[in-house]
C-alpha cells in the first residue's frame, strides 16, 4: 500500500471498511452484502473501493491475531453502547499496520480522524491513538510470535477439524484460509488468452484475484464463468450426460448448471430464492445457454419430477469456502452446522425421489463438516437399500488421488494443490438406484 492512501485520500474508504466490519461482527451480515451496503453511494473510485475491501477482507482473515493483539493492550474491550466503532477502528487500523504495509502515520491519523467523527468513539480517541502507536512500534514482533493458524481458527472449528482431519491438516487448512484466493474461470468452449493465467485441469484458467471480472477478455461474449476448481468436480461425477435429462437442485448461482449445459445435457435447474434464480437466469443469458428454470423448494416438487441424473448441491454451513468468505468463522457456530445438516437430510430425501430406476444421484456440499457430508451418506444408505454408493476413482478427478476418500467419495480441502493456490473444500458422493 502506498502513500497515495494517506489519511486524506483513504478516509472515506476506511470509513466504509469500519462500517462493513461493524455490520459483519455485530449483526452477522455476510461480507459481500456488508461491503456493498457500506460502499453504497460513497462514490469511491475503483482503487479506493478496492482499498476498503482489502481492509475488511484481511481484517477478517487475520481476525484472531488482531483480536489477541488488541486485547494484549486493552484486556477489557470498550462496551459498544458507549464506545461505538472503537473496536472496529482498532482492528482495521492494526490490520493496516501489520498486514497491509500502510505507513504508520497514515493509519494512525486516519483512525483518529474517524474516531472524531463518531459521537461515541471520539471519547476513546486517546485510547485509540495510544494503542495504535504501540502497535506501530511493537506489533510486528508480537505478530511474529503468534500462533497464527490457531488464533485465526475459532475454537468451534479448530476442535472439530482436529478430530476429523488431525492437527497437521487443520493447520494446513488454516494457512490456506489466510491467503487471498485466486480467481478460477471455466471456459465454455475454447480457452481465452489471458495474461498471467495458469491452466488447471478441466478447462479452468486461474488468475490472481483482485481483478474486475467484467473487464476480462471474453466476459461480454459469455466465453467463461467464474467457478472454483473444486466446485467444478461434483457435476463431472455424473459422467457422460450428453443428450440426457439432468435435474440440478439448489442450482444458483449457476456454475454447475452451466457445466451440465456445456456437456450437452437437457437441464432442469431448481432454485427456491427469487433473487438467486434471477441471478442464475442472468448468468445463463450472458453465457448464451438455455435450461429449464423452476422457482420452487426442492421438497415441494420432488413428487412431480424424474430424471436419470440428479445433482443436489445442498445448502450448508459453507465452511469449505472460508478462503472466499473469511467472515464465516466469526458469524457462524456449531449450531449452524446442526441446522444445515437437518435441512440437507430433508433435501437429500426429496432428491432421491427424483432418480429413475438405474439412475444416478450426486450429493454435494461446500462444507468441511462430517455431519453435512459423509454422515449424510452413511445415514441415507442405512435407510435406503435401493441405493448403493458408486465409488469415484482418481482418474475421474484428473489423477488427484488426495481428493478421493477411503470410501470412494470426493473430499477436497482448501490446502489441496497449495502450490497452485489451493481450492475450496467440497464433499460429494455418487449413488446409483438399483
- 95, 316, 340, 366: the catalytic one is 366
φ/ψ of residue 220, rounded to 5: -70, -25
Would you state the pLDDT for residue 125? 96
What share of the chain in percent tops pLDDT 70?
98
Reduce the DSSP state of residue 146 to 3 states and report it. Answer: coil
Mean pLDDT of the 92-112 span: 96
pLDDT exceeds 70 at position 428? yes
Would you state the pLDDT for residue 3? 44
Give the chain's largest Cα–Cα span.
Answer: 71
Question: Cα 299 from chain centroid?
Answer: 26
Beta strands 292-295 and 266-271 are parallel
pLDDT in tens, 139-180: 999 999 999 999 999 999 999 999 999 999 999 999 999 999
| Catalytic site includes residue 250 | no
Q: Which three cell numbers stand for residue 18?
A: 469500519
pLDDT exceeds 60 at position 9? no
Can you spell out the DSSP letters for 70-106? HHHH-SSPPPHHHHTTHHHHHHHHHHHHHHS---HHH
User: Contact, 431 vs 390, CB < 8 A?
Assistant: yes
Residue 262 neighbours by CB distance under 10 Å: 17
3-state per-residue secondary structure call for 218-257:
CCCCCCEEECCCHHHHHHHCCCCCCCCEEEEECCCCCHHH
pLDDT in tens, 331-363: 999 999 999 999 999 999 999 999 999 999 999
pLDDT in tens, 301-329: 988 899 999 999 999 999 999 999 999 99
Would you state the pLDDT for residue 209? 75
pLDDT exceeds 70 at position 6? no
All domains of the chain in start order, with CATH: 3-146 (1.10.940.10), 185-433 (3.40.50.150)
User: Contact, 316 vs 292, CB < 8 A?
Assistant: no
Lowest-confidence region among 4-8, 31-35, 390-394? 4-8
Amino acid at each position: 500500500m502506498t502513500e497515495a492512501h494517506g489519511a486524506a485520500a483513504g478516509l472515506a474508504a476506511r470509513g466504509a471498511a469500519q462500517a462493513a466490519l461493524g455490520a459483519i461482527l455485530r449483526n452477522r451480515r455476510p461480507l459481500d452484502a456488508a461491503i456493498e451496503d457500506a460502499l453504497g453511494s460513497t462514490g469511491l473510485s475503483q482503487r479506493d473501493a478496492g482499498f476498503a475491501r482489502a481492509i475488511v477482507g484481511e481484517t477478517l482473515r487475520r481476525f484472531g491475531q488482531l483480536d489477541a493483539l488488541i486485547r494484549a493492550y486493552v484486556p477489557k474491550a470498550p462496551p459498544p453502547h458507549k464506545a461505538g466503532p472503537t473496536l472496529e477502528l482498532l482492528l482495521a487500523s492494526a490490520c493496516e499496520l501489520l498486514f497491509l504495509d500502510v505507513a504508520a502515520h497514515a493509519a494512525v491519523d486516519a483512525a483518529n480522524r474517524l474516531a472524531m467523527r463518531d459521537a461515541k468513539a471520539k471519547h476513546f480517541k486517546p485510547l485509540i491513538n495510544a494503542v495504535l502507536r504501540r502497535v506501530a512500534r511493537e506489533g510486528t514482533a508480537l505478530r511474529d510470535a503468534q500462533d497464527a493458524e490457531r488464533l485465526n481458527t475459532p475454537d468451534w472449528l479448530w476442535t472439530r477439524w482436529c478430530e476429523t482431519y488431525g492437527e497437521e491438516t487443520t493447520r494446513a487448512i488454516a494457512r490456506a484460509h489466510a491467503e487471498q484466493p485466486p480467481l478460477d474461470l471455466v471456459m465454455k468452449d475454447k480457452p481465452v488468452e489471458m495474461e498471467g493465467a495458469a491452466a488447471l485441469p478441466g478447462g479452468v484458467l486461474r488468475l490472481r484475484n483482485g481483478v474486475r471480472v467484467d473487464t476480462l477478455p471474453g466476459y461480454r461474449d459469455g466465453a467463461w464463468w467464474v467457478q472454483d476448481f473444486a466446485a467444478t468436480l461434483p457435476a463431472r461425477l455424473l459422467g457422460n450426460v450428453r443428450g440426457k435429462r439432468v435435474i440440478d437442485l439448489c442450482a444458483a448461482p449457476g456454475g454447475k448448471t452451466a457445466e451440465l449445459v456445456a456437456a450437452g445435457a437437457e437441464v432442469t435447474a431448481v432454485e427456491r430464492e427469487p433473487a438467486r434464480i434471477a441471478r442464475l437466469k442472468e448468468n445463463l443469458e450472458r453465457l448464451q445457454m438455455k435450461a429449464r428454470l423452476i422457482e420452487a423448494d426442492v421438497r415441494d416438487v420432488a413428487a412431480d419430477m424424474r430424471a436419470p441424473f440428479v445433482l443436489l448441491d445442498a445448502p450448508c454451513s459453507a465452511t469449505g469456502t472460508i478462503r472466499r468468505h473469511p467472515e464465516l468463522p466469526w458469524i457462524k457456530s456449531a449450531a449452524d452446522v446442526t441446522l444445515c445438516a437437518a435441512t440437507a437430510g430433508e433435501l437429500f430425501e426429496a432428491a432421491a425421489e427424483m432418480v429413475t430406476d438405474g439412475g444416478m444421484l450426486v450429493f454435494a456440499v461446500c462444507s468441511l463438516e462430517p455431519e453435512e457430508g459423509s454422515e449424510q451418506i452413511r445415514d441415507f444408505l442405512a435407510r435406503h437399500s435401493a441405493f448403493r454408493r458408486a465409488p469415484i476413482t482418481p482418474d475421474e478427478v484428473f489423477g488427484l488421488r488426495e481428493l478421493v476418500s477411503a470410501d470412494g467419495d470426493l473430499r477436497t480441502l482448501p490446502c489441496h494443490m497449495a502450490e497452485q493456490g489451493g481450492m475450496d473444500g467440497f464433499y460429494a458422493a455418487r449413488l446409483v438406484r438399483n
